[in-house]
Amino acid sequence: MKRLALAAFLVLSSVAMADDITILGPTESIEPGEMVQIQLDGLAVSKLPSARVIFWPRERVNVFPAQTWGGRPVIFFQAKKPDKYLVSVVAGNDYGEIIIQVGDPGPDPPLPPDPPDPPGPDTKFQVAIFHQSDRLDNMSRERIALVSGRKFRDELTSRGHSFVGGFDADALTAYTKQECTARDCPPAPSRPLPSNLGLSPAWWQAIKGHSLPVVAIAPKEGGPIMVFPLPEDTEAMWALLENKGRTWRTLEEASK
């Protein structure tokens, strides 16, 4: 009995082939370990010696090319692991394939949640600026005006934003390094932040890992805290806050 030549490998090339072979097999899922017969139509008997059976995945799969008593080419297929299997036949320029589901495919995975809507151009923000006091001498006058300038704060307020404050990151560093001598004193990171740091721990956590100086902003009505390098001057700050030509990212995305 003539048998199809068997070869199991993953096709990596994109060779164009005519789709002349019709493969007839199970239209519903089969049980793991169940042997099924796949029929081939359109495959000339003269091409059987050079025909190849290609299947993927290959682990714990049995494939037996054969012919019926009437000379019709068939393939016996068995897979022991639940999965979706590609079975194809190549003979010269002729090609055909079938997908066989083994086992229960299970429910479709849930769709990822929609990303939160980015702040719109009219969104008003809470604005906090973080710097290091021992590096103020290295900052430009325009940047220092953002850190401590009254004019900037007044205009920020007139534009509908709120200025949370300008904060010295060295104060937090000193706080987290101080020793605790009381017997029941928890470690520094879990202790409440002292009032002189001026804002909630979420802001300090947001700037963690960023090179200072930075500006941290969050929508006034609530939302993610987003961290950016401190703009070079007030005009650059307004462009940032007005969301001109800028794609907003959450803190997690910006930190990657």
DSSP 123: -
pLDDT at 123: 78
Other CB atoms within 10 Å distance of the CB of residue 5: 12
**What pLDDT is recorded for position 12?**
29
Provide the token pair at 78: 């068995």
Cα–Cα dist 64/75, whole Å? 6
Question: How many residues are recorded in the chain?
Answer: 256
DSSP, collapsed to helix, strand or coil, labels residue 152 as: helix
Task: Summarize pLDDT for 173-209 with one digit per residue, the tens.
Answer: 554 444 444 444 444 444 444 444 557 788 888 888 8
Q: In 3D, which of 143, 204, 136 has the Cα closest to residue 169?
A: 204
Encode 114-138: b = buried (16+ Cβ within 10 Å), e = exposed.
Answer: eeeeebeeebebbbbbbbeeeeeee
Which backbone phi and psi does 235 adopt, to 5 degrees? -60, -40
Average pLDDT per block of 10 residues along the chain, 256 residues long: 36 39 88 90 82 87 87 90 90 87 82 70 83 82 86 90 84 50 45 54 84 88 86 89 52 42
Pick from 199, 191, 135, 141: nearest CA to 166: 199
pTM reported for the whole predicted model: 0.44
DSSP-H helix ranges across the chain: 141-148, 150-158, 169-177, 201-207, 234-241, 251-254
State the pLDDT at residue 215.
92
Q: What is the reported pLDDT for 116?
A: 65
Amino acid sitting at position 114: D
**Do residues 24 and 75 touch, judged by C-beta distance below 8 A?**
no
Distance CA 7, CA 44 (A): 19
Domains and CATH numbers, the chain: 5-102 (2.60.40.10), 125-176+194-254 (3.40.30)
End-to-end CA distance of the chain: give it in Å, rounded. 62
What does the pLDDT read at residue 49? 83
